[in-house]
């Protein structure tokens, strides 16, 4: 970045405006504002059943039973190598589907960035489609 600024200042050409120099200076001095992601990991077993039903529409035993029914692996890994426990990944999906929410609102509860949450939700939806296809094939 310093090389670009140095070249802009040394260049005698009138094609470079003062606005371009100002933009480079601003980009160099002002760091971008990033959202705060809490340093915590979600665990469904830490919630009481009333909270689980309000957040996910299932109690703790129901969430764990769904994990077994969907035959989720113990550790869910997305294409971008995001890792989540199966119960956490299912809770992320259930929370998103329980009522329309923004991903940013989910950051505080799950302690993950919006990108990670989006990828986990997409991965879980593809797993759900896979389970439907498997169960349909068994019925045939």
* Percent of the chain with pLDDT strictly greater than 90: 51
Residue 56 falls within a domain, yes or no?
yes
Phi-psi region of 95 (alpha: psi -120 to 50; beta: other; left: phi over 0): alpha
Same domain membership, residue 53 and residue 18? no
In terms of domains, do 29 and 49 share one? no
Q: How many structural domains is the chain composed of?
A: 2
Highest mean pLDDT of the ranges 23-32, 61-70, 120-129? 61-70
Q: Are residues 133 and 65 in the same domain?
A: yes
**17 and 84 inside one domain:** no
Residue 128 CA from chain centroid, whole number? 18
Task: Give me the domain span that covers residue 26.
Answer: 1-33
Do 68 and 116 lie in a common domain?
A: yes
- Lookup result for tokens 């830490």: 46
- Whether residue 8 is found in the same domain as residue 61: no
Confidence of residue 110 (pLDDT cuts 50, 70, 90): very high
Structure confidence at residue 66 (pLDDT): 92
Residue 82's pLDDT is what?
93
> Would residue 89 count as lying in a domain?
yes
Q: What are the structure tokens assigned to 115, written together?
A: 């990108």
2 has pLDDT over 70 = no
Assigned domain for 39 exists: no
Compute the average pLDDT of residues 62-71: 91
Ramachandran region, residue 3 (left: φ > 0; alpha: ψ -120 to 50; beta: rest) = alpha
Residue 2 covered by a domain = yes
Question: Looking at residue 100, what is its pLDDT?
Answer: 86
């Amino acid at each position: 970045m310093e090389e670009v600024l140095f070249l802009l200042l040394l260049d005698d050409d009138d094609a470079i405006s003062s606005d371009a120099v100002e933009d480079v200076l601003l980009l160099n001095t002002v760091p971008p504002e990033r959202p705060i992601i809490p340093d915590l990991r979600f665990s469904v077993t830490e919630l009481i059943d009333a909270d689980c039903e309000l957040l996910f529409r299932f109690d703790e035993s129901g969430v764990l039973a769904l994990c077994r029914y969907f035959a989720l692996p113990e550790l869910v890994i997305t294409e971008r190598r995001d890792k989540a426990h199966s119960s956490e990944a299912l809770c992320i999906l259930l929370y998103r589907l329980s009522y329309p929410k923004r991903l940013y609102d989910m950051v505080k509860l799950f302690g993950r960035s919006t990108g990670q949450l989006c990828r986990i939700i997409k991965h879980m939806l593809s797993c759900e489609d896979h389970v439907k296809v498997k169960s349909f094939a068994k019925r045939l």
